[in-house]
């Protein structure tokens, strides 16, 4: 037993000398944020509703821990938005809880405050602005500007294309809306994103096209 403890103490001492910190250091805010975003992405693809809910709950817990460690970590705030937002969508999209919605948007705004060119946050914020009624902060023109900016930052975006398809549909520009939605479906299939494929197909169905 004494020999085993001596070996462990020696290994720990070597780690401290080589790394200048404990071998079993606590994860950083960035590490936790990465794990939280992974939980969100994994949850989106799970077939079972309860499994999705559990994944989003784990993700939000990790994200909140990351924010507590470092409020200036943009990924941490986006991870809170991602997991909390998906939890709110589990049983269908709804805007009945205005306070929850404002909290969600606050996480997006904080992300963009820390990282103005975060394409994921820009796409999400632009989509909200396009879809929300003006009473709740909706602004179609500003949302469209954000979504077009995302296309420049991330040519493979699906979310921004679907948002722009919706804008064009609102304006009666059906052909342009179809172009955005069709390309969104193609990109979603190329990326292997079943959740985004479903969203693109739903948008095309709204436009009267089955794919």
Please indicate, yes or no, whether residues 35 and 111 belong to a single structural domain of this protein: yes
pLDDT for residue 108: 95
**Domain limits at 196?**
119-211
| Same domain flag for 107 and 149 | no
Residue 202 lies in a domain: yes
**pTM of the predicted protein model:** 0.81
**Statement to judge: residues 207 and 124 lie in one domain:** yes
What backbone phi and psi angles, to 5 degrees, belong to 85? -65, -40
Q: What local confidence, expressed as pLDDT, does residue 1 receive? A: 46
Q: Block means of pLDDT (10 residues each) for the chain, length 211 residues?
A: 44 40 72 97 93 97 97 97 93 70 93 96 94 87 95 93 94 94 95 90 90 71
One domain, residues 56 and 107: yes
- Determine contact, residues 93/110, Cβ cutoff 8 Å: no
Q: Is the domain of 107 the same as that of 34?
A: yes
Kindly state whether residues 204 and 133 are assigned to the same domain. Answer: yes
- Do 55 and 97 lie in a common domain? yes
pLDDT computed for residue 195 by the predictor: 87
Q: Are residues 172 and 191 in the same domain?
A: yes
In a domain, residue 151? The reply is yes
Total domains in the fold of the chain:
2
- DSSP secondary structure string for all residues of 155-187: TT-SHHHHHHHHHHHHTT-HHHHHHHHHHHHHH
Q: Does one domain contain both 159 and 186? A: yes
């Amino acid at each position: 037993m004494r020999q085993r403890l001596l070996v462990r103490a020696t290994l720990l001492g070597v780690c401290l000398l080589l790394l200048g910190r404990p071998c079993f250091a606590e994860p950083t805010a960035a590490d936790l944020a990465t794990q939280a975003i992974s939980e969100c992405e994994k949850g989106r693809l799970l077939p079972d509703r309860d499994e999705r809910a559990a994944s989003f709950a784990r993700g939000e817990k990790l994200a909140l821990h990351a924010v507590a460690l470092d409020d200036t970590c943009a990924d941490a705030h986006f991870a809170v938005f991602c997991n909390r937002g998906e939890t709110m969508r589990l049983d269908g999209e709804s805007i009945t809880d205005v306070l929850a919605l404002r909290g969600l948007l606050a996480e997006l705004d904080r992300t963009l405050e820390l990282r103005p060119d975060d394409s994921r946050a820009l796409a999400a914020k632009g989509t909200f602005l396009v879809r929300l009624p003006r009473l709740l902060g909706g602004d179609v023109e500003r949302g469209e500007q954000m979504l077009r900016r995302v296309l420049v930052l991330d040519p493979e975006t699906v979310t921004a294309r679907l948002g722009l398809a919706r804008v064009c549909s609102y304006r009666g520009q059906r052909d342009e809306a179809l172009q955005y939605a069709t390309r969104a479906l193609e990109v979603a299939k190329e990326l292997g994103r079943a959740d985004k494929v479903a969203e693109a197909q739903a948008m095309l169905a709204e436009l009267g096209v089955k794919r």
